[in-house]
Structure 1
Amino acid sequence: MNSENLEVYFLTNSNGTRLGILNFGASIFSLFMKDKNGDEVNVIVGPKDKNEYISKAYTDENKCFGASIGRYAGRISEGKFFLDGNLYKLYEKDGVHLHGGFRGIHHKIWKVESIDLGKNPSIVLSCVSEDGEEGYPGNLTIQVTYTLTEENEVVIQYEAETDKRTPVNLTNHAYYNLNGKGSVSNHDLFIASEAILEVDEKLRPTGKFQLLKEDEKDFSAVKKINSILLDDTFIFKTGVKDEVVRLYSTETGIELKIFTNQAAAVVFVPPHLSQAWEYQTEIGDSFPSLCVETQNFPDAPNHDNFPNSILAPNERYRNKSIFQFNLR
């Protein structure tokens, strides 16, 4: 990989909202918008220097900031699965295959297919995960389209095709802080979910569901994040047409509503972020951001009771999620 090939592309709408997309990992680099006082706020938490995406790519400091994740987002237990009678062994560390492996698609420099800077500007990027990469079968062609609408929506649409049956689960890994600084502990959070996936000590799904009634992780009624640690797969209620996640900052008046065609989202609130990076924004010492990864269930290839995750030739994978920003 060569840092000389790194480029951030900006989409701007008539409201002055600016979305920055980095070709490394097809990542959301920044998102600037006006708050209730008319001040500009970057609601994305991530590195200031785009070159550090490469220099720290394979280190423990890499937290997939804003990146497109795959082939399979989340964990696959023991780094293996059976498909059509064959055992496929993937890259794994300590019994976990995470986010597509050592060289997942978040470590690729994606090709820019097109840019439209007109009304509702958009950018289309693509990459190829070759047959056998990280142990997966099939040549997988992946495309992501980022659109910034006049209604301050960031629309993310992943599509993929394969020439062999293979598991696919794509998502975006942007970290949000609607204050533009400090902590998200004072954010109001709503999640349209009554259950999460039960996991073991390595956060690998057991195949069972954990009901959230009276649990501190129950956000089916709006409440503050406070100091609740989250790194869980929230299963959305069937047939939800409204937002599946809602986040709000009373400090800036910025509200984020998330709509998706996916069955779940991993909601991740890290207790802290590494000080090895220089960030674009001033991050807090604790709970500096929140990540919402709309996707299928992690480890679905190993659980028959989870939604199907296998993509076949002549089919097209689609993950469409809308991140709608409002002021109130």
Structure 2
Amino acid sequence: MKTSFIKYGRKDNRDLCEITLVNDHGMVVKVLNYGATLEKVLLNGENMILSLKSPADYSRERNFLGGTVGRIAGRVREGQWKHGQEIHQLPLNDGENHIHGGIGTDMQVWNFRSSCDGKTAKVDLTLFDPDGHNGYPGNLKLHACYELDNENTLHYSLEAVSDKLTIFNPVNHTYFNLGDRAENLDLQMNADYYLPVDETGLPDRGMEKVEGTAFDFKQKKRVGDALHSNDAQIKLRNGLDHPFILNGNLPNAVLSSNKHKLTVTTNAPALVLYAGNHFDHTGIPDNIGQYDGLTFEAQCPPAEDNDLGQITLLPNEKFKRTVDWKFE
């Protein structure tokens, strides 16, 4: 087990660093303190996730690749949160809706400390997000941790606490490809229901059964079979861009190629799957194309309206999200 880091730049008068975690089997994980971002996962030298060409590229344009996205990942309809008789208005940065926290936590420089012992190599990252930033109430302290063990499992956790009533629904936004393209991979997921969405990407009719649809991954099937189906929901979003409600059976999801397997386990109630529908080999991520990677966004599913009770934090209530990614 070992850890190291290098400084590769500066932003907002802060050092930008790339932290490296290595286990005893030679598995390598690279994390950026910009956005508490998972940059690379190298198994036998092969990258298991989508990455930009250099660490410096991540702060040049917001692409969400591997970032810790908050305070809210996903959309809030009309940017409104109703609690009691009050309506709190967030900035509208996605047409008529609010998305991905505004200038979110994935766009900020976090403090970090790396450490290792005989069992794990890890990096702890912390961020203070002040009251009123991006329109969110409450001084919020966040603590993200990436911890690599000798079973080739990367443990990710995010803890937070606010001094005011607020809303919080963050996510790690890593795109997995297992050294291939996502549409070529097989997926099995323990989800009986998914949430259909409207033109803006927000749910609009409650849960629907996956059985008999393109969204049925209860038995292992090729991701590309769903992406290239004639399902109206797939056509509407140009691919997978939907919340799946987990049924509690473990593991939550298994993604596999001819050579590798990823097992995903989380304490979140849902996984939002997004297949990089918008990537087209242009701009800063010009090394990435459509359907090259697949996210497992472990979070509470987006709400249909402004009742955001599921993601409301009381003052001093502790939030904790955990996700384990086991690579074989």
Give the TM-score band, short-chain normalised: 0.7 to 0.9
Residue 246 in 1 paired to residue 248 in 2?
A: no
Q: How many Å separate the matches in 2 of 1:147 and 1:3?
A: 28
Task: Kindly indicate whether the alpha-carbon contact (under 8 Å) linking 1:248 and 1:256 is maintained by their aligned counterparts in 2.
Answer: yes
Q: What does residue 324 of structure 2 align with?
A: 322
User: How far 1:278 moved relative to its partner?
Assistant: 5.5
Instruction: Give the match for residue 67 of structure 1.
Output: 67
User: What are the superposed Cα offsets for residues 172-200 of structure 1, whole Å, 9 maximum, x if unpaired?
Assistant: 0011111x24x222211011111112321
Output the amino acid matched with 1:99: H
Aligned AA for 2:27? T
Q: Secondary structure at the match of 1:308?
A: helix
Residue 114 of structure 2 is matched in structure 1 by 115
CA RMSD of aligned residues (A): 1.9
Which amino acid in structure 1 is aligned with residue 96 of structure 2? Answer: G
2:310 aligned to 299, 308, 317, which one? 308
Alpha-carbon contact 1:167-1:301 (below 8 Å) kept: no
- Find the aligned partners of 2:165 and 2:63 in 1 and give their Cα distance: 29
Q: Unpaired runs of 5+ in structure 1?
A: 35-39, 57-61
Q: What SS is found at the alignment partner of 2:196?
A: strand
Given that 1:248 and 1:255 are in contact with CA atoms closer than 8 Å, whether structure 2 keeps it comes out as: yes
CA distance in 2, matches of 1:122, 1:66: 16
State the partner residue of 2:236.
none
In the TM superposition, residue 2 of structure 1 has moved relative to its aligned partner by 4.3
Question: How far did residue 208 of structure 1 move?
Answer: 1.0
Amino acid in structure 2 at the alignment position of 1:302 = N
Aligned match of 2:54 in 49, 53, 58?
49
Contact 2:77 2:304 in 1 (8 A): no
Task: Give the letter aligned to residue 233 of structure 1.
Answer: P
Equivalent position SS for 1:125: strand
2:207 corresponds to: 209
Q: Distance in 2 between matches of 1:258 and 1:151?
A: 14
Equivalent in the alignment of 1:192: 190
Please give the alpha-carbon distance, in whole angstroms, between the structure 2 residues aligned to 1:66 and 1:4: 20
8 A Cα contact 2:275 2:290, kept in partner: no
Q: Which residue of 1 aligns with 2:5?
A: none
Question: 1:173 maps to which residue?
Answer: 173
Q: Distance in 2 between matches of 1:216 and 1:278?
A: 28
Alignment partners' CA distance in 2, 1:2 and 1:139: 20
SS at match of 2:183: coil
Distance of 2:172 and 2:96 partners within structure 1: 24
2:241 corresponding residue in structure 1: 231
CA distance in 2, matches of 1:99, 1:188: 28
Q: Alpha-carbon deviation of 1:206? A: 2.0
Instruction: Give the match for residue 293 of structure 1.
Output: 297
Q: Is the 8 A contact 1:3 1:51 kept in 2?
A: no
What per-residue deviation string (whole Å, max 9, x for no partner) do you get for residues 7-66 of structure 1? 1000000010010000010000111012xxxxx20112121222222222xxxxx32010
Tell me if structure 1 keeps the 8 A contact 2:265–2:324: yes
- Counterpart Cα distance in 2 of 1:123 and 1:172: 15
The answer (yes or no) to whether the contact 2:83–2:307 under 8 Å persists in 1 is no
Distance in structure 1 (CA, Å) of the matches to 2:278 and 2:128: 33
What's the counterpart of residue 59 of structure 1?
none
Q: TM-score, normalised by structure 1?
A: 0.87
Match of 1:37 in 2: none
Q: Which one is further off, 14-23 or 294-303?
A: 294-303
Question: Structure 1 residues 312-321 or 154-163, which shifts more?
Answer: 312-321
Structure 2 residue runs without a partner (length 5+): 1-10, 228-238
Identify the structure with the greater helix proportion: 2
Q: 1:21 aligns with which of 31, 36, 56?
A: 31
Match of 1:275 in 2: 282
- Which consecutive aligned stretches of 4+ in structure 1 deviate over 4 angstroms post-superposition? none
- Per-residue CA deviations over 1:135-164 (Å, capped at 9, x if unaligned) read 111111111011001101110011000111
- 1:277–1:3 Cα change, 3 Å: farther
Q: How far off its partner does 1:301 sit?
A: 7.4
Q: Which residue of 1 aligns with 2:270?
A: 264
Which string of whole-angstrom CA distances, capped at 9 and with x for unpartnered residues, describes residues 269-321 of structure 1? 12352422267xx65x44211111111112377247xx721111232001011
Partner of 2:19: 9
State the aligned residue count: 303
Distance 1:98 1:23, change over 3 A: same
Q: 1:87 to 1:286 in 2, by over 3 A?
A: closer
What is the aligned-residue identity percentage?
29
